Structure 1
Amino acid sequence: MFTGLIEHMGTVSVIDQLDASESGGGGWSMTIADSASILGDCHIGDSICVNGCCLTVTEFDQDSFKVGLAPETLSRTNLGHLKVGSKVNLERAVAGHIRFGGHFVQGHIDDVVTVCSREEDGNSLRLLFKVPKGTEERPSLLPYIIPKGFIALDGASLTVTTVSDSEQTFGVMLIAHTQSKIDLANKPVGATVNVEVDMVGKYVEKSIAAAMGDLEGGDSPIKRLVERTVQEVLRKHNVIQ
């Protein structure tokens, strides 16, 4: 679990698409340098959030650490488009004794969105993002994005300022301090950003679906109650017998 409060920006130093080492496992791996400030208490197997994606440390030294990138990770995130020299937002898994200042971030990326506009507003920066159209395999994220709600963008916990369902966009504002601490402020129009919506909305939706019997093969007392109530109203008004 993470908070969405970025601790440090590291630098991608190695990308290996066929890492045959013991720590690479024969697949994609990425090494992130300039990370000494978050590695003082690191252990093999620890979770570090990289641009919002929860990844497992397979190797590390005083300044850098290596993580593996599974096919699912590459298909869901923008990590496969990073290059050597790219800056990435980093956060260690939250410890139980610290103050919780962001929101509950799982590090499980839902999809990527695209920066569609940048606008300075005083010393703040307004960013607008385009949300992909939903598919059966990957539904649209817009139902889970609400004004003043939480969202994690490249791992940073931010507040949603605007939402347009018709335009399929949402916006955030970065204060001056935030601009200096995360890489999002440097992304140009057209760049992709990892997004994780607030998990509370997803749990509420599934709970309601289960209560209404809308899950596969589902039925429920609430659904039957609603159906009986509707039928009684229709009979009362002589719509049905």
Structure 2
Amino acid sequence: MFTGLIEHIGTVSEYNKLDESSSGGNGVSLTVTDALPILVDAKIGDSIAINGTCLTVTELINASTFKVGISSETIRKTNLGELHESSKVNLERAMDSDVRFGGHMVQGHVDTIAKIVSREKEDNSIIFTFQLRTEDDEEKKLVNYIVKKGFICLDGTSLTVTDVDYTDYTFKIMMIKHTQERVIMPLKSIGDYVNVEVDLVGKLIERQIENQLENLNESSPLAKFIVSIVDKRIKELVH
């Protein structure tokens, strides 16, 4: 688990596509340098989020450089396939018991990507507008988990949604100057993509409701509540 509070910005030093015979065949081997602050207690097998994607350290090359492997499925689901040598990346170590929880609960499991469709200055803040990838029907439905004033994780950064348009699958965030100086998003342009992880709480609530509905009986509190709502609506329509 992660907090969505970026600890450091690293630099991609190597980006190598793997063949089928390699570990994680058809994926990518990624080497990140300039990462000294997050490697002081690192060991092989640790989890580090790169642009919000939870990945496993496979090699510690030196005090400031580490390597991870990225599967082909992860490449398809995230923006990591667009990285190249010299790309800047957001880095966060997995939570430990001593961390101060200042962001929100982030799994590091990217749901989809979104395109930056506008960025506007407002005083010393930047208002970003994003559009979810709409080619995939399942990924389009993720907009239902995005709510105004709710949490969202973009490239590993915990942010607050300021607006949502459910008809064109867009949403907005406002990034203050303090955050701009500590993450990679201000380096991006209109048309670039960010990794998106929607708030886990919405998924959990939906699943609990589905479980309740699947096992619904007439005497359950939920069934009685639904009946009361339907009865009220019918009476409103009649009158």
Q: Same fold (TM over 0.5)?
A: yes
SS at match of 2:185: helix
The alignment's C-alpha RMSD in Å is 2.5
1:4 aligns with 2:4: yes
Contact 1:131 1:140 in 2 (8 A): no
Change (3 A) 1:80 1:220: same
User: What is the number of equivalent residue pairs in this alignment?
Assistant: 227
Which amino acid is 1:187 matched to?
A: K
1:163 partnered with 2:159 = no
Aligned to 1:182: 183
1:129-140 → structure 2 map (5 Å cutoff): 129-133=130-134, 135-140=136-141
Aligned to 2:80: 79
Structure 1 residues 212 and 135, CA gap change in structure 2 (3 angstroms): farther
What is the CA-CA distance between 1:138 and the residue it aligns to? 3.5
1:99: Cα distance to partner?
A: 1.1
Quote the offset at 1:208 in angstroms: 0.6
Identity of aligned residues (%): 48
Say if 2:216 is the partner of 1:220: yes
CA drift at 1:18: 1.7
Match of 1:97 in 2: 98
Q: 1:16 to 1:134 in 2, by over 3 A?
A: closer
Name the structure 2 match of 1:128: 129
SS at structure 2 position matched to 1:100? coil
Amino acid at match of 1:159: T
User: Match for residue 45 of structure 1?
Assistant: 45
Q: Deviations over 1:119-174 (max 9, x none)?
A: 00001111000123374544521111111110000000001111111232110011
Q: Secondary structure in 2 aligned to 1:140?
A: helix
Contact 2:133 2:140 in 1 (8 A): no
| TM-score, structure 1 normalization | 0.87
Describe the SS at the equivalent of 1:29: strand
Equivalent residues of 2:112, 2:196 under 8 A apart: yes
**CA–CA distance in structure 2, aligned partners of residues 117 and 225 of structure 1:** 44
TM-score, length-scaled by structure 2? 0.87
| Aligned pairs (5 A) from 1:10-29 | 10-18=10-18, 27-29=27-29
CA distance in 2, matches of 1:59, 1:19: 19
- In the aligned structure 2, how far is the partner of 1:25 from the partner of 1:146? 36
Specify every segment of 5 or more residues in structure 1 that has no aligned partner in the other structure, as ranges.
214-218
Q: Single out whichever of 59-68 and 133-142 deviates more from structure 2.
A: 133-142
With over 3 angstroms needed to count, the CA separation of the structure-2 counterparts of 1:163 and 1:50, relative to structure 1, is same
Q: What SS class does the counterpart of residue 125 from structure 1 fall into? A: strand
